[in-house]
Copies of this chain bind each other. A is one copy, B any other.
Amino acid sequence: MFDVRPGTNPDRSRVRNRKAVLGLINSAGQMGRAAVARSLGLSTQAVSNIIAELEVEGLLIERGAQSAGRGLPAVQYGVNPEGGVALGVEIRPDVLLTSLVDLSGKPRATRRQVLDDLSPSRVTVAVLKLRDWMLKECGFTNERLLGAGIVMPGPFGTTGLSGQASDLPGWQTVDVAGLFSQEIGRPVIVSNDANAAAMAERFSVAQGLTDYAFLYFGAGLGLGLVHRCQLVDGAFGNAGEIGHLPVMADAERKPLEQVVSRVSIQSALAANGPLDIEALDRLCKAKDPALMRWLETACDALGQAVGVIENLFDPQTVILGGAMPASILDHLANNTPLPELSVSNRPDAIHPRLQCGTSGRMTATFGAAALILNRAFTPQSTAMWERPPA
């Protein structure tokens, strides 16, 4: 499951340091060699060598010198968006979504393909084809592909939450990461939609944050937790199943998902027939009374959930995103009553307690790619989580 080798040798040191340099420059926008060296606790020379290497490989580009006070102006380097791309794959019961995201976190291509047969073999074939199309369309060679992130409906393995409609038939016993990495020939990371979407925020709203929670509107409602720049996904990859959190709504105790989710909007607005994101956006902007009523109970329930997340996890901020119109997310972020009895209710807070992130249908698909980008920018946590041989 975890192929991390806790031991460090020269090779692995270099890999780590390269990631550290890239990640630092990425989150700072641009930096000079000396500044990077100070920040990482390495010698200027070491950083200089690494940066030279990364520049030759096209991962960094020079951005001219910048004078800051006395002394020789430092030559600035920034991450080259063209330096690499990550493939994002989202497998849903009804559809296969893919995207290509460049090193700066910007989506370059997206694909949406309805599949009648979602068997692993058919999906891998489709993904390979889509990868080639998108790479060609964006003018990237195959060598520039850093890896693929795969998003699938959780929970993984058989749990007390299994057997739902969102489960993919025929995938339960498959080693998904192994399958795809064999086919694609690149590193593959598998996760659920909320975790992936949370990672995507590292390239937008959560840039520079180390600890945050991401509430994701997908089929239901999911939670992605980021601690010290790394996903907290649980022992079996199923952390963040917040949909079943009991909240009070209409003087009743209900699962959060039943009050705050697209399904719950749909049932609140049943009279309008099936609604897609654009339709919801229009209704929100028109202040549709039924939607406003839904928003009121949703805000109230969301406030309770945010309180639980804050007190259990103590994040810098909680971010809302996913398959919802930005107008509704905005309303939720701005009108949710946040509990006073919370560790996050701090007078000296720098970040808002609740804010909006990326919205839209493709959020998790981009997030899938972000799993790979994050890997390129973050030295592996090397805590010893491998079991000693029996």
CB distance from A220 to the nearest CB of B (A): 12
Interface of A is mostly: loop
Which residues of A157-193 are within 8 A (CB) of B?
A: 157-161
Q: Are A383 and B379 in contact (CB under 8 A)?
A: yes
Of A8-16, A137-145, A285-293, which stretch is located at the interface?
A8-16
Q: Are B311 and A229 in contact (CB under 8 A)?
A: no
Of A36-44, A103-111, A123-131, which stretch is located at the interface?
A36-44
Which B residues lie within 8 Å of A98 (CB)?
none
Kindly state whether residue A63 has any CB partner on chain B within 8 Å.
Answer: no
Kindly state whether residue A55 has any CB partner on chain B within 8 Å.
Answer: no
Write the chain B residue with the least CB distance to A384. B23
Which B residues lie within 8 Å of A41 (CB)?
5-7, 9
Kindly state whether residue A219 has any CB partner on chain B within 8 Å.
Answer: no
Kindly state whether residue A234 has any CB partner on chain B within 8 Å.
Answer: yes
Kindly state whether residue A56 has any CB partner on chain B within 8 Å.
Answer: no
Q: Are A241 and B343 in contact (CB under 8 A)?
A: yes
Write out, one digit per residue, whether chain A residues 221-235 have a CB within 8 A of any chain B CB (1) or not (0).
Answer: 001010111101111
Kindly state whether residue A308 has any CB partner on chain B within 8 Å.
Answer: yes
Which B residues lie within 8 Å of A227 (CB)?
227, 232, 234
Which B residues lie within 8 Å of A5 (CB)?
40-42
CB distance from A23 to the nearest CB of B (A): 5
Kindly state whether residue A35 has any CB partner on chain B within 8 Å.
Answer: yes
Q: Are B304 and A341 in contact (CB under 8 A)?
A: no
User: Which of B10, B228, B345, B347 contacts A381, CB < 8 Å?
Assistant: B228
Which B residues lie within 8 Å of A315 (CB)?
234-235
Write out, one digit per residue, whether chain A residues 337-348 have a CB within 8 A of any chain B CB (1) or not (0).
Answer: 001111111111
Kindly state whether residue A155 has any CB partner on chain B within 8 Å.
Answer: yes
User: Which of B43, B158, B342, B388 contacts A28, CB < 8 Å?
Assistant: B388
Write the chain B residue with the least CB distance to A24. B388
User: Which of B23, B31, B158, B340 contacts A347, CB < 8 Å?
Assistant: B158
Write the chain B residue with the least CB distance to A314. B234
Chain A: number of interface residues, binned into ranges: 35 or more
Q: Are A311 and B20 in contact (CB under 8 A)?
A: no
Kindly state whether residue A208 has any CB partner on chain B within 8 Å.
Answer: yes
Kindly state whether residue A334 has any CB partner on chain B within 8 Å.
Answer: no
Q: Are A223 and B314 in contact (CB under 8 A)?
A: no
Kindly state whether residue A378 has any CB partner on chain B within 8 Å.
Answer: yes
User: Which of B17, B157, B348 contacts A7, CB < 8 Å?
Assistant: B17
A253–B342 CA distance with the chains assembled, in angstroms: 17
A sample of 18 cross-chain residue pairs with beta-carbon separation below 8 angstroms, ordered by A number, consists of: A5-B40, A6-B16, A6-B23, A6-B41, A7-B17, A9-B46, A20-B384, A27-B388, A159-B343, A160-B345, A161-B341, A210-B385, A211-B235, A229-B383, A232-B313, A235-B314, A235-B316, A241-B312
In the A-B complex, the 4 residue pairs with the closest CB atoms = A234-B314, A160-B345, A5-B41, A7-B40
Task: Please name 12 further chain A to chain B contacts, defined as beta carbons within 8 Å, in addition to the given A13-B13, A241-B312, sorted by A numbering.
Answer: A7-B17, A7-B40, A23-B384, A24-B388, A158-B347, A161-B342, A161-B345, A236-B346, A244-B307, A253-B253, A312-B313, A377-B384
